[in-house]
């Protein structure tokens, strides 16, 4: 059981920043922020979970079954992540590429303290054992002097970013991907590349703030798990369950923004009509429909929104929304198991695309193109897609971010490479200061 408190901060934005700084004393932190995007489906404006009471950490072997047991036994809020490499537990696949980050394949925890933001109010839910700490916590959060000292104590290096795949190699690999498409092995695949820095230290929270300020996306997340960090400015929802309704919102199709208003409007219009971008999106919509059908009641899978263009601070994106209604007996973890990894980060057909991706990419994806999110005590959930994100192992002093684009029969390797650079721009700016 959890005790509930309600707190009305004088300034909600300032309280958010102070709360996030306060949270850094814990080894287990998940922060999810909508940046005030009034999303049709979201329950909260922001959520913070800290301080593990129980947790599950595992490699890919039997990972979804272990998560199912954990979620069933806690019947409480649990927060955590799924790495892309959980594909190896659902299919006969492997991940043998270089891994500089070394995140466990799956991690979830049951937080002692939970902060739920909605409009100008914060609902605090805490376990009985920490009831008497909440008043002191709020005083600490409002103590600017202590918070300033914490902020000053952290440092960042100026980073030298390296490429795991250089331009000529990218061109060669993209052409190999196209050869697979022309042979009929696949229709589309998301091909990704890593940018990284070794022997480097960053201030994770400051890095997250800068990245979030540049993009202000609807599915931003900050995750701290012991010495490992995620700083994500994701614009994409992977999947959400609310009662018996499930939605997935894949993004496929990207165009840059322009400071010239007329040109910017035109870029969005061009994206909406672009046959290559639309075909990318529609292929993934078909894949998601098929994935959702595994747990849906008959005849309930439908496309609510097809190829709609949304504008973010950095880019225009084409988003579709697919909905289903699940049968009563379906376990919530099974909905994730039968749809993971998300189609927007794999390709079609999914298994063939994942095999070819593994051959051509140079880096184990790990948490990149995985997901962060939560389950509620009732078994509802909401998870994002880990893109536009920086990952950091503070013990190894290894910093990484990856970007990708969808290769289809109509792809031009040079344009795909340029699209990757557009997507990488915000991360590079933040890290190179």
Which pLDDT belongs to residue 155?
65
For the segment 39-95, what is each residue's pLDDT rounded down to a tens digit?
Answer: 889 999 999 999 999 999 999 999 999 999 999 999 999 999 999 999 999 999 999
Structure tokens at 233: 């400015």
What is the structure's pLDDT at 142?
A: 83
pLDDT at site 262? 95
Is the CB of residue 109 less than 8 Å from the CB of residue 80? yes
Closest by CA to 101, choosing from 417, 391, 428, 426, is: 391
Active site residue 241: no
252 is known as an active-site residue: yes
pLDDT tens per residue across span 174-199: 999 999 999 999 999 999 999 999 99
* CB 271 within 8 Å of CB 422: no
- Is the pLDDT at 147 greater than 90? The verdict is no
Among 87, 173, 210, 236, which one carries the catalytic annotation? 236
Q: How confident is the model at residue 157 (pLDDT cuts 50, 70, 90)?
A: confident
Q: Which residues contact 416 (CB under 8 A, 6 or more apart)?
A: 174, 191, 405, 407
User: Which pLDDT belongs to residue 433?
Assistant: 74
Helix (H) or strand (E) holding 245: strand 245-248
The whole-number pLDDT of residue 158 equals: 79
> Whats the size of the chain, residue-wise?
433
Catalytically annotated residue among 87, 228, 252, 355: 252
φ/ψ of residue 153, rounded to 5: -75, -10
Where do the domains of the chain lie, and which CATH numbers do they carry?
2-432 (3.60.120.10)
């Amino acid at each position: 059981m959890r005790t509930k408190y309600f707190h009305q901060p004088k300034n909600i934005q300032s309280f958010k920043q102070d709360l996030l700084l306060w949270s850094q004393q814990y080894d287990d932190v998940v922060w999810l922020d909508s940046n005030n995007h009034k999303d049709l489906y979201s329950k909260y404006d922001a959520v913070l979970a800290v301080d593990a009471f129980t947790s599950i950490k595992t490699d890919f072997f039997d990972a979804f079954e272990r998560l199912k047991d954990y979620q069933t036994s806690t019947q409480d809020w649990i927060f955590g992540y799924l790495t892309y490499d959980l594909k190896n537990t659902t299919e006969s696949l492997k991940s043998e590429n270089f891994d500089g980050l070394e995140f466990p394949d799956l991690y979830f925890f049951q937080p002692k303290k939970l902060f739920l933001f909605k409009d100008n109010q914060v609902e605090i839910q805490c376990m009985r054992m920490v009831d008497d700490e909440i008043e002191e916590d709020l005083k600490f959060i409002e103590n600017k002097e202590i918070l300033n000292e914490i902020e000053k104590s952290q440092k960042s290096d100026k980073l030298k970013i390296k490429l795991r795949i250089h331009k000529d190699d990218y061109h060669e690999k993209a052409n190999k991907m196209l050869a697979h498409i022309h042979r009929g092995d696949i229709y589309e695949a998301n091909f990704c590349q890593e940018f990284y820095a070794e022997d480097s230290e960053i201030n994770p929270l400051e890095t997250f703030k800068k990245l979030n300020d540049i993009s202000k996306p609807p599915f931003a997340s900050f995750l701290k798990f012991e010495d490992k960090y995620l700083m994500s400015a994701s614009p994409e929802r992977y999947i959400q369950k609310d009662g018996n309704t499930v939605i997935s919102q894949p993004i496929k199709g990207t165009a840059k923004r322009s400071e010239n208003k007329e040109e910017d409007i035109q870029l969005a219009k061009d994206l909406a009509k672009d046959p290559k971008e639309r075909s990318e999106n529609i292929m993934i919509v078909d894949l998601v429909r098929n994935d959702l059908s595994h747990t849906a009641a008959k005849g309930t899978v439908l496309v609510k929104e097809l190829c709609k263009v949304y504008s973010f601070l950095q880019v225009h994106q084409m988003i579709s929304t697919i909905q289903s209604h699940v049968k009563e007996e379906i376990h919530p973890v099974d909905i994730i198991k039968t749809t993971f990894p998300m189609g927007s980060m794999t390709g079609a057909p999914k298994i063939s695309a994942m095999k070819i991706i593994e051959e051509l990419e140079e880096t184990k994806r790990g948490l990149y193109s995985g997901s962060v999110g939560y389950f509620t005590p009732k078994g509802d959930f909401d998870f994002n897609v880990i893109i536009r994100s920086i990952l950091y192992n503070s013990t190894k002093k290894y910093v990484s971010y990856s970007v990708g684009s969808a290769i289809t029969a109509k792809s031009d390797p040079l344009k795909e490479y340029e699209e990757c650079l557009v997507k990488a721009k915000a991360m590079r700016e933040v890290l190179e200061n």
